[in-house]
Amino acid sequence: MLSRSILFMLIFDILVFSISSSFWYKFFNLPQNLFFFAIALIVITGFVVLFLKDNYKIREFNISSKNYYLLFEGVVFAHVPLTIFLLLFNHNLQILEFIALNILTIYLSLAIYRNLFHLYLFKFKKNKNVLIMGTNQEAKLIADEIMNKKALKMSVVGFVDDKEEENIIKDSQTKVFNQEELKDVIQKYEVDILIVAIKRRMEENLLTNMVDNVPNYVKVYRMPEFYEMVTGKYYVSKMSINWLYYDFMNKRSLVYDFCKRAFDIIAALIILTVTSPILVYIGIRVKKTDGGPAIYTQNRVGKGGKIFEAYKLRTMYLNDYVPTGDNLNKADNQNADDRVIPFCKFVRKARFDEIPQMINILKGEMSIVGPRTEWDEVVKVYSEQVPYHGCRHWVKTGWTGWAQINQGHLFSSDAEAEKLQYDLYYLKHRNVLWEIGILIKAVFLALGGRHG
């Protein structure tokens, strides 16, 4: 759901795109018969591009040179379809002047608004006060997440002691209250949100105490539910994996399976068709480099743990590298080592080397979107190091996915544990419309060399 602040930003962006484009279009007296279509096109593409570039992710919002650049890049990309459309029907050079001034006007307007929004967010917007029920590891984890995400504008006022659990809240600065103080604490600290981070089944007297003393205006969340909301990841524990199982089983649908398969086939065919000239060129250059094959296969793990041969463009000189727990961290810098064929560094960044996996998708061994399909040797290592790693294989593994567009592709046990959280979040919330959005964003990231 969009917060009111983000909704206002969205409305402002739409108005800026439409007003600026209308003004400059009429100023240069461009073809009136194309006016309405041109304005609609720039508004729609503008919104889509900024959305894909995370301009409406309030929890990650900040002012930085990188974000200024990404905003400018988004405004420029948004004008590409409009430029092509106008030049197809009119060769007037004033179109280029219109595009240049429109880009400048829109960019400056959006940048100024975001500066004002940032000022409001961190200087004037009222903090929401959060009270956490529990003093265990889950309570500490969600408190740390809240405190680290300044854009949430939330403050943890303290913890309510759960007498039957170990208290790991040892910081003398942290307030820990008794259950009997619940009503007074909520009133005194003007609590807006109560997060229940108790692992065990709560007793009747505690539940009754909460019902009687938590006012209607206080929103109550279970810790895993709130964790998902602020991180986009699934909280992994023995209990939450059981909940995920029931969510997953109850969400199975023949309609979803049919639509997803159709999406996979259509998207794979389009990607293969569009990129085939580039793949042929890369393949020829790789072949000429050392005489080895341009395409090779590698054992990957798919749905149900089934191993299949995935197709890849070779971007490294021939070698016998095998991952182990000791050298997985070194693999994180593969683009910089001497095994990579020099001209293939961007090929790897843009993930062109993995486009041949569209063949695996057409064969039904993979999906366009899903948990990343991994080398079977890597899976052996992580299955021993990361609890519940095998749950990723409840669905077909994917060419891209929720983890790749959020985290990238990193090699370490800690990074893999975090990737698992993204993958399980995908398992719980998967739907075809969301997966189309993930694919579009993955393409944008790949073209910029930022796809994981």
- Distance, in Å, from the CA atom of 40 to the CA atom of 318, rounded to the nearest integer, reads 51
In a domain, 247, yes or no: no
Cα distance between residue 374 and residue 393, in whole Å:
10
Q: What is the share, in percent, of the chain residues with pLDDT greater than 90?
A: 52
Query: What is d(CA 395, CA 370) in angstroms, rounded to the nearest whole number?
Result: 7
Task: Read off the pLDDT band of 357 (50, 70, 90).
Answer: very high
Note whether 368 and 268 are within 8 A (CB): yes
Give the E-state strand segments of 171-244 in sequence order.
176-177, 193-196, 219-222
Residues 435 and 332 in one domain: yes
* Residues 265, 181 share a domain: no
End of a domain among 85, 103, 124?
A: 124
- CB-CB contact of 344 with 315 (8 Å): yes
Check whether residue 87 and residue 132 sit in a common domain.
no
pTM of the model: 0.80
Band of the pLDDT at 268, cuts 50, 70, 90?
very high
Return the pLDDT at 179.
87
Q: Chain centroid to CA 32: how far? A: 40
The verdict on 50 and 36 lying in the same domain is yes
Which of 92, 124, 156 lies at the terminal end of a domain, its last residue? 124
Mean pLDDT of 131-136: 91
Which pLDDT belongs to residue 165? 63
Distance from C-alpha of 247 to C-alpha of 427, rounded to nearest angstrom: 9
Mean pLDDT score across all residues of the chain: 86
Do 359 and 385 lie in one domain? The reply is yes
Distance CA 254, CA 265 (A): 17
pLDDT attached to residue 129? 95
pLDDT above 70 (res 18): yes
Using the predicted structure, report yes or no on whether residue 106 has a pLDDT greater than 90: yes
Q: Write down the residue that tokens 């200024």 correspond to.
A: 68
Residues 400 and 272 in one domain: yes
- Spatial distance between the Cα atoms of 428 and 224, rounded to a whole number of angstroms: 13
Tell me, yes or no, whether 105 and 173 share the same domain.
no
**What average pLDDT does range 201-213 have in this prediction?**
86
| 246 found inside a domain | no
Count up the domains in the chain and report the number: 3
Q: How many Å apart are CA 191 and CA 155, to the nearest integer? A: 10
pLDDT in tens, 409-421: 666 778 889 999 9
Structure confidence at residue 332 as a pLDDT band (50, 70, 90): very low
Do 303 and 373 fall into the same domain?
yes
Is a pLDDT exceeding 90 seen at residue 148? no
Which phi-psi region, left, alpha or beta, contains residue 280 (left: φ > 0; alpha: ψ -120 to 50)? Answer: alpha
CATH number at residue 205: 3.40.50.720
Percentage helix, strand, coil, to 5, in the chain?
Answer: 60, 10, 25
Same domain, 296 and 414: yes
Q: Is the pLDDT of residue 61 over 60?
A: no
Question: Rounded CA gap, 303 and 171, in Å?
Answer: 45
Residue 308 pLDDT > 50, yes or no?
Answer: yes
Q: Which residue has the higher pLDDT, 196 or 60?
A: 196
Does residue 187 lie in a domain region?
A: yes
Q: Is residue 64 part of a domain?
A: yes
End of a domain among 75, 95, 124?
Answer: 124
Domain that holds residue 215: 128-231
Task: Spell out the SS3 assignment of 137-148.
Answer: HHHHHHHHHHHH
pLDDT of the residue at 322: 53
Answer yes or no: do 214 and 151 share one domain: yes
Return the C-alpha torsion angle 64, 66, 70, 76, nearest 10: 100
3-state secondary structure of 170: coil
Q: Is residue 303 part of a domain?
A: yes
Task: Tell me, yes or no, whether 281 and 352 share the same domain.
Answer: yes
| Least-confidence region, from 51-60, 68-77, 105-114, 291-300 | 51-60
pLDDT value of position 324: 57
Residue 239: inside a domain: no
CA atoms within a 13 Å half-sphere pointing along the CA-CB vector of 40: 4
Under 8 Å between Cβ of 375 and 361:
no
Q: What is the reported pLDDT for 405? A: 87
What confidence category does residue 448 fall into, taking pLDDT thresholds of 50, 70 and 90? low
Q: Which of 202-206, 208-212, 356-360 has the lowest mean pLDDT?
A: 202-206
Q: Are residues 110 and 134 in the same domain?
A: no
Residue 406 falls within a domain, yes or no? yes
pLDDT reported for residue 199: 81
* H or E segment to which residue 223 belongs: helix 223-231
